[in-house]
Structure 1
Amino acid sequence: MRKLCLILLCTAACGRLGDVGQTPDFTTPGDANNEISAMANPGLPETLERRRPHTQASLWSGGRQSLLGDRRADTRGDILTVVIEIDESAEISNSSERSRSGSESLGIPSFFGIPQRVNERLPEGASMADAVSTNSSSNSAGDGSVRRNEKLTLRVAATVVNELSNGVLQIEGSQEVRVNFELRELIVTGYVRPQDISRQNEITYDKIASARISYGGRGQITDVQQPRWGQQIADIVLPF
């Protein structure tokens, strides 16, 4: 058991020691990446409704590259800009208070003369007139509050990776920025309607269904902020 623990410790340490003094590597986009696959493979064939043919007398063509053409993303492989502007705050405050008190007294002054006979045998000052007396009281109070503030402003280019049968577009976007020894990662995925895309080929995050937005990083700063894996295991295992 000791040898196994030592092997695991050495393996983990060697893996981390290899990153000492090195900048975090970028994620290499490969063929398995959904964005590159969507760009490389052609989209669905255009239907007659989507071609929007123009008449011969028209001075302007209806193509996407024309002056008045619609350049919004609408097919697999197209790129659009996702605007993430989150400025939200939530504040919840709850308080509760409960109080209860009770008093009971039970006496047997006369019961076929039995109490009188019993009183003769009781110590001086004792009597069955106040045989039982109870008092109880309880009080409870609670107070709780939640306060959160979130603000995030980001813009990222996303790619249409799939077009559903009802016209909804599935998008995926990723961005990596390295500053010194810290790599920031931004990932966004979800589903959008083509009509929600603006003329500037942009869409806000609140119009993305099943949106998944991740903004994090890896590097020296993130490594220092995270507790050691031994401490994380101890926090889970220890019952106190």
Structure 2
Amino acid sequence: MIGLRLLLLASALALVGCNAPQRLSEIGRGPQLSAIENPTARPDWRPVSLPMPAPQEPVRTANSLWRPGARAFFKDQRAAQVGDIVTVLVSIRDEAQLENSSTRSRNNGESMGLPALLGLESSLTRILPNTVNPAELVRANSTGSSTGSGKIDRSETVTLRVAAVVTQVLPNGNLVLSGRQEVRVNNELRELAIQGVIRPQDIASDNTVRHDRMAEARIAYGGRGMISDVQQPRYGQQLLDIILPF
């Protein structure tokens, strides 16, 4: 009876851990879109803290309507404060080819004896078995070898455009961005999340910024649905791959 209860408890924990209740609720409907929410209200949101330069007084030009750093005479249309929206252009072309091989071998041998010890070597048989040879008390040998090889050939191309919201303005004027995008097509939900820090000077006149101008960039592109579930190993197999030493 106790074993059955433990089995039911383990099954319940496994269902909760693998997000099974949500997946069961989506049978026949497909993955549901998330509600639009304030990025700073999420439990995992944390304010960004980076090294900052010493504060400086802004330079004021007498008898001039032109603002330093502005790209328009009347108003700068680029994002500049919390709540503004800026479009991030993601264009990743990543290629990597790595190949490694290694071979290792090792032989060890140790021996120890007492062929002469002030004439007391003949008394060792009183303590040790009669077959003990004082000249060869200890002898040990070990041999080890290892051969390994690995190869990585990876090519990735990601081209996206996503609108992000300014969630924080750092003391030096840099902007912290956070953006999420969800698209559902044929019961397959694609998710895109992006976070990072940009300089206002890197924002183009059309209010866009390239992802390679973003510091501490965090870009995640994935999805969930029937196709994504089939493409990954089951949770039990992933658990065994982590804990099994062989």
Question: Normalising to structure 2: TM-score of the pair?
Answer: 0.63
Partner of 2:45: none
Q: CA deviation at 1:50?
A: 9.2
2:224 is matched with which residue: 214, 218, 221? Answer: 218
Partner of 2:110: none
SS in 1 for 2:217: strand
> Deviation digits for residues 168-191 of structure 1, max 9, x if unmatched?
110101100011211111000010
Question: Normalising to structure 1: TM-score of the pair?
Answer: 0.64
Q: CA deviation at 1:239?
A: 2.9
Distance 1:226 1:98 in 2: 35
SS in 2 for 1:6: helix
Q: CA deviation at 1:147?
A: 1.8
Task: Report whether the alignment pairs 1:183 with 2:189.
Answer: yes
Q: How many residues align?
A: 189
Partner of 1:114: none
Letter in 2 for 1:4: L
Given that 1:35 and 1:173 are in contact with CA atoms closer than 8 Å, whether structure 2 keeps it comes out as: no
Unpaired runs of 5+ residues, structure 1, are 37-46, 59-63, 100-138
Task: Report whether the alignment pairs 1:4 with 2:11.
Answer: no
- Go from structure 1 to structure 2 and tell me whether the alpha carbon gap of 1:35 and 1:150 turns closer, same or farther (over 3 Å shift): farther
Distance 1:89 1:71 in 2: 36
Given that 1:83 and 1:202 are in contact with CA atoms closer than 8 Å, whether structure 2 keeps it comes out as: yes
Partner of 1:26: 33
Letter in 1 for 2:36: P
Unpaired runs of 5+ residues, structure 2, are 43-56, 106-144
Letter in 2 for 1:91: Q
Identity of aligned residues (%): 45
Q: Which has the larger radius of gyration?
A: 1
Q: CA deviation at 1:231?
A: 2.0
Given that 2:26 and 2:32 are in contact with CA atoms closer than 8 Å, whether structure 1 keeps it comes out as: no
What RMSD, in angstroms, separates the aligned Cα atoms of the two structures? 3.9
Q: CA deviation at 1:75?
A: 1.2
